[in-house]
Amino acid sequence: MSTMTVVQCWDDGVTADARLVDILRRHRATATFNLNAAKHAPERQPGWVFKGTQVGRLGWNEMRELYSGFGIANHSLSHPHLEQIAIEDARKDIAEGRDRLEQFFGRQVTGFAYPFGTYNEAVMAAVRETGHVYARTTGKADQPFPPGDPMAFHPCCHFLAPDFWERYERARSGGVFYFWGHSYEMISEPMWAEFEAKVARIGADQSARWGDLAALFAK
C-alpha cells in the first residue's frame, strides 16, 4: 500500500497553540502555523472571547521557541477581508505580513492562508506575485494535492469535521490528507483528548506519515 502524507495547519497565533504544540511534539507530528505579524505584541495579549473562553494572542517573546521545528506561513499582516479592501492595500498587507515573518523567524515563508478564507482573482494574483507558492482556503477537497490552482489550495476538512475519518480514508488514493483549524476551538478537556487521539491514530497508521506543507510544493 502506498503511503499517504498527512499535513495540518493552524491559524491566528493564539496561546492555545502552546498546548497544541506540546501534543504534536509528543507524537512527533508536523504542522504549519499561519500567522498575522501585526497582531502580536512583545508579550501575550488578550484577543477575543470564543464560546465563553478567552482567546489570547501569543507574544513575540515566545514564538521563536514555541514554533521551532514547525512550519510558518503568512496569514496576511492584519487579517482583513482582503477582497473587500483596495487591491493595493491588500497587496501591501500580504507582502508586509510575509516580510515581517521572514525577518522574525529568519527563514523563508512561502505559504499563505486567506484570512476568513475569502479571496477573489485579484487577491489570488497578489498572493502569487508576492512570492507565495500556495494559498489555503477554507474549502473542502477530497484529494487536495496537487491543487487545480495553488492559489486556491483547498484542505480536505476542518479538524472538527464530523466526517473527518471518512475524508481521511477518501484522501488515501490521492496521497495527501490535509486538515486545518484553530487551537482555540478546543474549549474543553474532552476536545483536547479527542484531538490527541486523532494525532495518535494518524501516527499509528502504518500507511501514513506526517509531512510538511511547503515541502509538498518544493518537489
How far is it, in rounded angstroms, from Cα 22 to Cα 9? 15
Indicate whether 11 belongs to the interface with Zn ion (CB under 5 A). Answer: yes
Q: How far is the CB of 97 from Zn ion (least distance, A)?
A: 12
17 touching Zn ion, by CB under 5 A: no
Q: Rounded CA gap, 16 and 184, in Å?
A: 6
Nearer to Zn ion, 11 or 196 (CB): 11
Q: Which stretch binds Zn ion (CB under 5 A): 6-14, 57-65, 85-93, 163-171?
A: 6-14
Minimal CB distance residue for Zn ion: 11
Residue 92 CB, shortest distance to Zn ion, in Å, is 18
Helix (H, G, I), strand (E, B) or coil at 35: strand
CA-closest candidate to residue 143, choices 159, 154, 158: 154
Of positions 12, 93, 185, 196, contacts Zn ion by CB under 5 A = 12
Q: At what angle do helices 121-129 and 87-105 cross, to 10 degrees?
A: 30
d(CA 140, CA 158): 8
- Near Zn ion by CB under 5 A, which window of 12-20, 45-53, 56-64, 196-204? 12-20
Residue number, 74 or 110, with CB nearest to Zn ion: 74
Phi then psi for residue 88, to 5 deg, are -65, -40
Is residue 185 part of the contact set for Zn ion (CB under 5 A)?
no
Residue 12 or 185: the one with the smaller Cβ distance to Zn ion is 12
What amino acid is encoded at 138 in this protein?
A: T
CB of 12 to Zn ion, least distance (A): 4
Neighbouring-strand partners of residue 46? 56
SS3 state of residue 123: helix
- Phi/psi of residue 130, nearest 5 degrees: -100, 20
Binding residues for Zn ion, how many (CB under 5 A)? 2
Least separation, in Å, of the C-beta of 3 and Zn ion? 31
Report in angstroms how near the CB of residue 38 gets to Zn ion at its nearest: 13
Judged by CB under 5 A, the stretch of 4-12, 25-33, 80-88, 171-179 that binds Zn ion is 4-12
Q: Which helix (H) or strand (E) holds 45?
A: strand 45-50
Binding residues for Zn ion, rule: CB under 5 A, are 11-12
